[in-house]
Amino acid sequence: MWSRRRFLSLGVAGGGAALLLGLAPAREVQILDALADRLFFAPGMPKPSTLGAGARAWAFAMELPAFDRAQLRGLLRAIDWGPCLRWGARFPNLGEAEQDAILTALCEAEALTPRLALQALRQLLAMGTFTHPTVWAAIGYDGPTIGLQAWEEGP
């Protein structure tokens, strides 16, 4: 059986190898879309990838400092290529159960680094997912209010 630790260490090794191959942004957006669809999945809710969550998250990531961008690229490569060692497929091509197993491993790892990775992905992809008006409608959020009158000015 694969322990989480072994799985993650192989994942990181796979990511290291992927550093040599490089990734086009389109691939990174595809990985982000696949991650968003699992992180923010719920029956009856819009699927984040259909709303362009990956592309919006990537656009936000380009505003981050260079060090964070480099870390994100490394993390996405690790997540993308790591599963090849166990399942023979890259992350976006895995089934939902396998994708959830990877995210569960990150979420419940004893080591800090995998949990930090999941937190970073959750925050980034929340910026890609929960900024779309379709999602606002689904969660009952009113959205921007520009146009209200000042209380002090009265009705």
Contact footprint for another protein (CB under 8 A)? 38-43, 45, 56, 59-60, 63-65, 68, 100, 103, 107-108, 112, 115-116, 118-119, 122-124, 126-131, 135-136, 138-142, 144-146, 148-153
- Shortest separation between residue 46's beta carbon and another protein, angstroms: 11
- Shortest separation between residue 20's beta carbon and another protein, angstroms: 25
- Shortest separation between residue 21's beta carbon and another protein, angstroms: 26
Of 20 and 62, the one with the shorter C-beta distance to another protein is: 62
Of 22 and 153, the one with the shorter C-beta distance to another protein is: 153
Host H or E run for residue 50:
none
- Shortest separation between residue 106's beta carbon and another protein, angstroms: 9
Mention every residue, 6+ apart, whose C-beta is less than 8 A from residue 52. Answer: 128, 132
- Shortest separation between residue 84's beta carbon and another protein, angstroms: 22
Of 12 and 135, the one with the shorter C-beta distance to another protein is: 135
Instruction: Please tell me the distance from the alpha carbon of residue 79 to that of residue 92, in angstroms, as a whole number.
Output: 9
For residues 80 and 93, the answer to whether their CB atoms sit within 8 Å is no
Of 17 and 116, the one with the shorter C-beta distance to another protein is: 116
Give the 3-state secondary structure of 92-147: HHCCHHHHHHHHHHHHHCCCHHHHHHHHHHHHHHHHHHCCCHHHHHHHCCCCCCCC
For residues 72 and 64, the answer to whether their CB atoms sit within 8 Å is yes
